Amino acid sequence: MKFIILLVFTFCVNALMLRSGVKDKITEGVIQQIREQIKNPQSQYYHSAYNRLAYYVDTFGPRLWGSENMADAVDALYKDIEKMGFDRVWKENLGEITSWMRGEESVTLFEPRQIPQKLNMIGLGWTPAGVVKGEVEVVHSFEELKEKDVRGKIVCFNFEWNGYGSAIAFRFAGPVLAEKAGAIGTMIRSVASVSIASPHTGMTDYENIKYPAVAITVEDADMLDRMKKRGQKVVVEIKTGGQQYKTTSDNVFAEIKGYKYPDEILLMGGHWDSWDVGSQTGANDDGGGVIVCLEALRILNSLGIKPKRTIRFIAWSGEEMGQNNNGAFHYARNHGKDNHIIAFESDLGSTKPYGFGITAGQQFTQLVTYLAQEYLTGIGAERIYPNDGESVDSGVLADFTGTPMLNNRIADNENHDFYFTYHHTAGDSMWMMNQEDMDDNVVAIASIMYLIADYDGPIPKD
């Protein structure tokens, strides 16, 4: 009972303190300074996020986990960060990892076409090498897969786009479920909100996939569906050339040490690896996320801003491949005992920011809401969305340690249709990145991290 009274008392005091809304002039000045440096066309920091990202994308190309491109891009990022004058810069090797590379691959439509037609396609991550030819059965749901006899056939999943959550189930689980039902190969409709005939890759069930599993375009999935509905026999051949191999990779770090509570750590970052499907793939997913976080740390450091707590930048290695020895798991296993205050991740693009999602206890959420509303209204990033701060890499740390999570809320609709138009395609390129929007992300991220890191008082644990 005493415990409950104490809890209620603490809550009321905090609530009172938050409602008083006394703006601290120094803190306000810091936020203004960050904004002026990033948004001033005369400043060296103006558009530096876009320019730095463009350098990496143009110079190193896509960064598939474990590939030489990725290794070169990791080295270059590390060397670049070393020159930025942070308190500490380091990398951590993941040890031996198993990764996957794409080989020659194709889908050819033999029937009902008179002359064989190559379809735009892309193999799904972890698909092994193989060649299969057979009649196609189109299904629209997992229920329909159970009802139809797909033995000896190639299953084409043609589902409706209702957001990533429902669509990814077909990409991840669809091929293996079809194989269990007797199919000899799988084509999935690309997981995409809008299509201009571009196939979208992504990971499938890496532990169980045994046969060719590929994505075809939304347009072609619909075409095969129409053919079947009018009773035409559809025959395709799928060729894939995927291979697994042993390699290694690194997470990269930079830190500004807190002057008062150096052991209290605010983690922030994105994943440096990407898919491999175009000349610039990984500009948006997630090169942009990594670079806006790095630039956020850089502006704080360059302005000589020392917060009370430590801010640690991480470029995670290996998110796309989803392995449990990737950078996120390596970090959580090796740093799970560090005192993490919060983990921020940017992995939904870098369009215009308007606030933050947070997954934390009620009091901490209340504190972040207060800080954002008090100090970030001027930069338009003050909206806080409780219980909505999850991301993939920060989520691993949260699973291991219960660390609260934060992510940036940026302009897009509810299903992130802009993001998923380009996601995991050759269209993920510098063309879809916007210089002003990236600058706004740097301002918003640097500001919220600073506000939490410099908060003068204990950070609520619940």
| Cis amide bond preceding 286, omega within 30 | yes
Q: Which stretch binds Zn ion (CB under 5 A): 128-136, 166-174, 282-290, 428-436?
A: 282-290
- Which residue in 137, 179, 347, 393 binds Zn ion (CB under 5 A)? 347
Alpha carbon separation from 182 to 49, 202, 212, 399, 458 (Å, rounded): 50, 23, 13, 36, 58
C-alpha 30/C-alpha 97 separation (Å) is 42
Q: Minimum distance from CB of 284 to Zn ion (Å)?
A: 9
Nearer to Zn ion, 172 or 370 (CB): 172
Q: Residues binding Zn ion: what is the number (CB under 5 A)?
A: 3
Question: Quick check: 273 binds Zn ion (CB under 5 A)?
Answer: no
Binding mask 291-330 toward Zn ion (x if CB under 5 A, else -) reads ----------------------------------------
- Which residue in 105, 137, 250, 285 binds Zn ion (CB under 5 A)? 285
Q: Which stretch binds Zn ion (CB under 5 A): 17-25, 40-48, 214-222, 344-352?
A: 344-352
Q: Minimum distance from CB of 69 to Zn ion (Å)?
A: 16
Place of tokens 């502006």: 299
Question: Quick check: 345 binds Zn ion (CB under 5 A)?
Answer: no
Amino acid at 215: A
264 is catalytic: no
Nearer to Zn ion, 314 or 367 (CB): 314
Nearer to Zn ion, 27 or 359 (CB): 359
Find out whether 80 and 315 touch, Cβ atoms under 8 Å: no
Q: Minimum distance from CB of 391 to Zn ion (Å)?
A: 9
Q: Minimum distance from CB of 282 to Zn ion (Å)?
A: 9
Give ∠ CA 234-236-242 in degrees, rounded to 5: 150
Amino acid at 176: V
User: What per-residue string of b and e applies to 21-60 under the rule 16 or more CB within 10 Å gives b?
Assistant: eeeeeebeebbeebbebbbeeeeebbbbbbebbbebbeeb
Helices (H), 249-361: 289-302, 327-335
From the number of C-beta atoms within 10 Å of its C-beta (0-12, 13-18, 19+), residue 207 rates as exposed
Range 198-257, binding Zn ion (CB under 5 A): none
Nearer to Zn ion, 228 or 423 (CB): 423
C-alpha 311/C-alpha 256 separation (Å) is 5
Nearer to Zn ion, 382 or 437 (CB): 437
Q: Which stretch binds Zn ion (CB under 5 A): 120-128, 206-214, 346-354, 411-419?
A: 346-354
Nearer to Zn ion, 286 or 454 (CB): 286
Question: Quick check: 286 binds Zn ion (CB under 5 A)?
Answer: yes
- H or E stretch covering 185: strand 185-189
Active-site annotation holder among 137, 295, 319, 382? 319
298's tokens: 């850089």
Q: Minimum distance from CB of 405 to Zn ion (Å)?
A: 15
Binding site for Zn ion (CB under 5 A): 285-286, 347
Active site residues: 319
